[in-house]
A and B are shown apart, each in its own frame.
Chain A
Amino acid sequence: VENVRLLDRLSSRRAVLGTLYLTATHVIFVENGSETRKETWVLHSQISSIEKQATTATGCPLLIRCKNFQVIQLVIPQERDCHDIYISLIRLARPVKYEELYCFSFNPKLDKEEREQGWKLVDLNEEYNRMGVPNTYWQISDVNRDYGVCDSYPTEVYVPKSANAHIIVGSSKFRSRRRFPALSYYCKGNNASICRSSQPLSGFSARCLEDEQMLQAIRKANPGSDFVYVVDTRPKLNAMANRAAGKGYENEDNYSNIKFQFIGIENIHVMRNSLQKMLEVCELKSPSMSDFLWGLENSGWLKHIKAIMDAGIFIAKAVAEEGVSVLVHCSDGWDRTAQVCSVASLLLDPYYRTMKGFMVLIEKDWVSFGHKFNHRYGNLDGDPKEISPVIDQFIECVWQLMEQFPCAFEFNERFLIHIQHHIYSCQFGNFLCNSQKERRELKIKERTYSLWAHLWKNRADYVNPLYRSDNSQTQGTLHPQIAPCNFLYKFWSGMYNRFEKGLHPRQSVTDYLMAVKEETQQLEEELEVLQERLANLQKSQSGDNKVKSKQQDRSKQFGLYTSNNSLANTPQEYSNDLKSFPSRSPSQGDEEDSALILTQDNLKSSDPDLSANSDQESGVEDLSCRSPSGGGCLPSEDSGKDSDEAVFLAG
C-alpha cells in the first residue's frame, strides 16, 4: 500500500510518507524519497494488538502495538485498504500452528553441523556437574524418563539420594500437575540447595507420607542444617483460597523440621494488568511529572518487581548465610517459582552473571522446567488470559541489579533487551512450546536454530565494559538492599520506551567504553608489532645489516582519532507557543543538524529486526559518541546491515 504515513508519537508534526508491505513474516514500512530509504520491519509474532481507529480526513489510522513495546501508528489513505491490512494482520499475528512460526522458515545460512553445534552451546548436564552434582547427597533420577511422572518436567531431574522412585512418584501424586520437588540450585560450599515444586494437594487436612519423606530427604541432603525453609511465593490469601479446591500449602505440623514462609507475589493476571497500566503511562502524550509518577505507582509494576526481588534476596540469604535449604513453590510452580529461583541463583552464583551462565540459567530454570512460553507470550493464538509478562519481570530484576552493581555482570543492557525480543520473536526455536516434551515432539533442535548460538556469535556487542572478573562484585554473593530508598527501583525506559530513542540518554557510556576498549586492544596489538620492528631494526643496525624492514603501511592513526562526537539532536516541543510565531521554517534547523548526523546509528546491526527500526528522526542517534578515524572499532553499519537483510530475504 502506498502513501502511508508513519506517525511519530513524540511529535505530531513529524510524520513520514512511505509504502507499507505485508510479507509472510513481516510488516515492512519503507520510507519514500530519502536517500537512505529507511525501513521499519516488524515481525508478525511481535504484534500484540492492532487497533483500527475512526477514519479522519487524512485517512484511516491503524495502531499496532508490539510485544517488544514498539508502538506503530500508521495512517492509510483508503479505508478499504486499511480494513484489508487489519484483517490480514489479525490472522497473521495469531498463528494457530507452530509450523507457521518464523523460526521454521528462518534460515541464517548455517550448515547442519553448525546448527547442532549451536544447540550444544548450553548443556544442562554440564551445568549440574559444575554445581557439584551428582554427589553423596544428590543423584540424577530417571523416574521421569519418558515423561511418565510429570509431562512438564524434563526427563532428567536431580533429587536427594535418599528419595527413591516410590517416594518421588508418591510425592508427585500429592503435587499440582505432579510437579514434585526437584533440585534447582546446589551450593557447593555448604550443601544448601534450592528445590522447586508445585503446591501440595493438601486441601484442609490431606497428608501424604511420601511427600513428607521427600522434604525430609531434602533436609537430610544438607547435613549442616536441621530444617528446611518452604517458601510459598503467593500471597497468603491466594494460598488459602486454593485449599478450598483441594490444593494449598504445607502444614508445619505434618512436616517435621520445616519453616514455612509466604512471600506475596501476585499472580499472572495481576501482573498482566499491571504491565498494561504501566504501558498506558508510557504511551501518554507529553505527560506531566505527576501524571507519570502517579501512573507508575498506580500500575504497581515496580512494587511487583520488588516483591520478586525480595523473595530472591530472602532465599539467597537463607542459602548463603544460614546454610539452610529452601523449597520454593507457587501454584503450579512454573511462573513465580521460576522467577524467584533464578533471581536467587543469580545473586548466589557469579557464574550466572556471565553471558554463558545467564543463558544456562534461563535454560535451567525456565526452559527445562516447563515454563509455558507459548501460553505466556502468546506465540500461537490462545487464551488471552494465559498471557503474562513473567519472564519480562525476571529480566527487569536483572536490569535493576545491574544498575546497583555496575561491575557485577559480564553482559550489558542490550543483551537483556535482545533476549526479551527473541522470547517473543519466534525467530529461534529455544522458547517454543510449553515444555521439553512438546519441543522434543516437534523436533525443534532439528528444525530450528538456537538463539544462544546467535547471541554467542555476536557476544562482542553484549559485553559490559565495566566487568572485571577480579572485582569484588563479581566474587560471591550479591547483597542488595531492601528498602526503596536504599535500592532505587527505577523505571526501565530502555525497555518499555525502547523505540522512543528521544527519551534516552543521547550518549551511551557503555558504547563509548566498548569502543575505547576495542581500540585499546588494537593498540596493544600495534604496540607489539612496533616493538618487534624496533628490535629488528636495532639488531640490523648494530649488525650493519642493511635489510630494510618492510615499510608497513599503517593507515590507522590510532593516536589521532578525531572524535565524531556529532549529535543529531533536535529539540522537543518545549512549548506550544512557538508554533504560532512566524519564524524560520523549523525544518531548516533540522536539516542543519541532520547534516551532522553520522549515521552510525546502530551497534545492534547484528539483529536485523532490531536495528532495522533505527529511527533517526525521533531523536538523536549516534550511539557511538566516538569513532576513531582509524575505523574498525565499531561494526561497520553498511556491511552489517546488508548481510542481515540478505538473511531476511532468504527467509
Chain B
Amino acid sequence: MEFAELIKTPRADNVALHRPFHAAVEGTLCLTGHHLIFSSRRRDNAEELWLLHSNIDSIDKRFVGSLGTIVIKCKDLRIIQLDIPGMEECLNIASSIEALSTLDSVTLMYPFFYRPMFEVLEDGWSSFLLEQEFELLSSVTNEWRLSCVNKDFSVCPSYPAVVIVPKSVDDEALRKVALFRHGGRFPVLSYYHRKNGMAMLRSSQPLTGTNGRRCKEDEKLINATLRSGRRGFVIDTRPLNVAQQARAKGGGFEQEVHYPQWRRIHKYIERFNILQESFIKLVEACNDQSHNMDRWLSKLEASNWLTHIKELLTAACLAAQCIDREGASVLVHGSEGTDSTLQVTSLAQIILDPRCRTIRGFQALVVREWLQAGHPFQQRCAQSAYSNSKQKWEAPVFLLFLECVWQIHRQFPCSFEFNEQFLILLFEHAYASQFGTFLGNNENERAKLKLPQKTMSLWSWVNRPEELSRFQNPLYEANSLVIWPSVAPQSLQLWEGVFLRWNRPSKFLEEAEEERINIIKYNKELQAKVNALRQQLAEMEAGEEGQEN
C-alpha cells in the first residue's frame, strides 16, 4: 500500500492552528505518510508542529460556510484545532488523517520507517537481557536457574524465551505446570529480596475448575521458594467471589488443602474495561472548562481514577510488606497475569528495591516486568481517552502503573534518579512512538516482527548522555531503604503533569524546575572548586615542608 493513495490533499495554506495558552498561528499544513506537519510562515521564529498520525486518537470536523475546522485529540491528551479554508481541502485532510491514524498493519507503523539522526552508542534492544539479570542474582543465591523451556514460545506464548525458576524444578515439570495455569503462565521469579532472601513470583490463575483439579508440580514449584517451616502469601488481584466464579470457566485459585503453606489474600484491582471507562471520564473532567468547583470535584470523584490508584498502591504495598516485614515469599496473580499482576509486582519492586528507582534500573524494570512479561501493549494502548470506538482491549494499565510511581515519587522526591518527565515520556511512547519498543503484545510477536532488526529501541535514544540529562532528578540522593508510601486519600493527588498538562500554563512550573536545577548545579560547582583548591593548597604546603626539611 502506498501512503500517497491516502493523501488526497498533501498541503493546505492559510491554516490557523489553535492551542490552549498559545496565540493562534497561521501557516501551512502538510501531510506525510506518518506525520502531520504545521509550519508558520513567520520568518523570525518559525513555529512548527510535528504530530505523529499514530498519536491521533480521534478527530472531529465541522464547517462554518467554507471554513472547515478540524479538532484533533491526541493520545497524549492534547487537543489542537486547525481551521482550514476550503471545504474540499478540509474534508480531504480529515479523511486522510483518519485513515493514516488507524492503520491496521503494524509493519506500516512509523518505527519501521524511522531512520535515526543520532549515533547509536548502545543498542537498547540488548541492553536489558534476562541473562544479565540472572548473573546478578547468581552472585547472591544459587537457588534459581535460567530455563529455556519456552525457547520457541510453545509452552507459554506470552512469556519470553528464557525465564528464571527455582533450581529444583526441571523443564519437564514446568511444562506440566504450564498446562495447569491460564495461558501457560507458570510461576516465575519476578523479584528476589536480597535483604532476607524472599522471593516474589508471578503467574496466571491455576486451572482448578469446578472439580478442584490439582497439579503436584505446581505445588512443588511454588513450595520450592519457601524456607523450611515458613509460609508464603498468594496475592490474588480479584475479589474472592470473582475468583470463585472463575472456576466455572475452568479457572480458579489455590485451595488451602493443596497449598497448606500458603495463605491467600484477595486484593481487588479493577479489570481493564472499567479502567478505560474511568480514564475517559477523568480526561473529560479535566477538559471541562466550567468554573464550577463542585462540578469539578464531583466529576473527579465519579471518574474513580484515584480510587484505582489507591487500590493499586495498597496492593503493591501489601505485597512489599509481606516480603520485607513478614519475611515471606509471595505469589501474585489475577486471571491472565498480564495486567494487574504486573502492576503489583512492578510497584512492589519500586518500593523494595532502590535499584528500580534509578533511571537504568527503572528501564530494566519496565523491560522485565512489562515488555518481557507479556503485557499486551499493542492491545491496551491502541486507543487513548478520546476514542469514540468501543474497543474491547484498550486499558490504561501501564499509565496507572506510571501514575502510581509518580505518587510514590511525590512522597519521596529525593529518592528517584529520574524525574516526572521521564514517566511522561514513557506514557507518550507507549501510545505513539518512532521507536519499536512498545510494538507488539509480547516477545513472541516482537521476534516475529523482527523488531530488533527493523526498528530502533527507545532505550538506544534515551540512554544517550544528552537525552539522559533531561530526565535526571536534580534532588536525587541514593536511598538504600525500603520506601513505604502513604495510601491515605489525603496523600494522593491528581497527576497534573499528564492530565492537566495541556490545560495549565506551564511557564511557572518550568521556572521552578529550572531554579531547582540551578541551586543544585551551583552547589556542585562550588564543591568541585573548593575541593580542587584544597588539594592544590595541600600539595603546595607539602612541597614547602619538603623544602624545609
Binding site for B on A (CB under 8 A): 10, 282, 286-294, 296-297, 300, 302-303, 306, 310, 404-408, 465-466, 468, 471-473, 481-491, 493, 497, 500, 502-509, 512-513, 516-517, 519-520, 523-524, 526-527, 530-531, 533-534, 537-538, 541, 546, 548-549, 551, 554, 558-559, 563, 565-567, 569-572, 574-575, 577-578, 581, 583-584, 586, 589, 593, 596, 619-620, 625-626
Contact = CB atoms under 8 A, between A and B. Distances in A.
**Which secondary structure dominates where chain B touches chain A?**
helix
8 contacts: A465-B519, A472-B511, A481-B504, A507-B413, A527-B530, A572-B317, A575-B314, A593-B481
Contact of B508 (A473, A497, A551, A577): A473
B318 A574 contact: yes
B526 A527 contact: yes
Contact of A575 (B265, B516, B534): B265
Nearest to B494: A488
Contact of A472 (B314, B326, B507): B507
A294 B294 CA distance: 10
Given A497-B490, A503-B488, A505-B412, A530 B515 contact: no
A558 B503 CA distance: 43
A527 B529 contact: yes
Contacts of A507: 411-415
B99 interface: no
Contacts of A473: 508, 511
Contacts of A583: 325-328
Contact of B503 (A407, A486, A506): A486
B272 to A, nearest CB: 19
Contacts of A567: 412, 479, 481, 483
Given A484-B296, A506-B412, A625-B414, A516 B520 contact: yes
Contact of A563 (B328, B478, B490, B548): B478
Interface in B502-541: 503-505, 507-509, 511-512, 515-516, 519-520, 522-523, 526-531, 533-534, 536-537, 540-541
B104 to A, nearest CB: 34
Given A485-B286, A569-B482, A569-B483, A493 B519 contact: no
A288 B414 contact: no
A523 B520 CA distance: 13
B310 A482 contact: no
A503 B491 contact: yes
B327 to A, nearest CB: 6
Interface string B484-509: 11111111111010001001110111
A491 B515 contact: no
B67 interface: no
B484 A572 contact: yes
Contacts of B309: 289
B135 interface: no
A490 B508 contact: no
B385 to A, nearest CB: 14
Contacts of B509: 406
A506 B411 contact: yes
Contact of B477 (A505, A570, A625): A625
Interface string B194-214: 000000000000000000000
Given A406-B509, A503-B491, A527-B533, 8 more contacts: A290-B301, A297-B297, A408-B508, A483-B290, A488-B494, A548-B544, A583-B328, A619-B486
Contacts of A503: 486, 488, 490-491
B399 interface: no
B123 to A, nearest CB: 34
Interface residues of B, number: 89
- Majority SS at the chain A contact face: loop
B488 A572 contact: yes
B486 A572 contact: yes
B141 interface: no
A596 B310 contact: no
A303 B531 contact: no
A537 B413 contact: no
Nearest to B317: A574
Interface string B255-298: 00000000101010000000000000000011111111110111
Contacts of B304: 289-290
B168 to A, nearest CB: 26
A513 B321 contact: no
B332 interface: no
B52 interface: no
Interface in B311-339: 314, 317-318, 320-322, 324-328
A383 B321 CA distance: 50
Nearest to B310: A289
Given A473-B508, A481-B505, A485-B287, A293 B519 contact: no
A300 B294 CA distance: 7
A10 B288 CA distance: 35
B232 to A, nearest CB: 11
Given A297-B301, A527-B529, A565 B479 contact: yes
Given A483-B289, A509-B475, A530 B534 contact: yes
A216 to B, nearest CB: 34
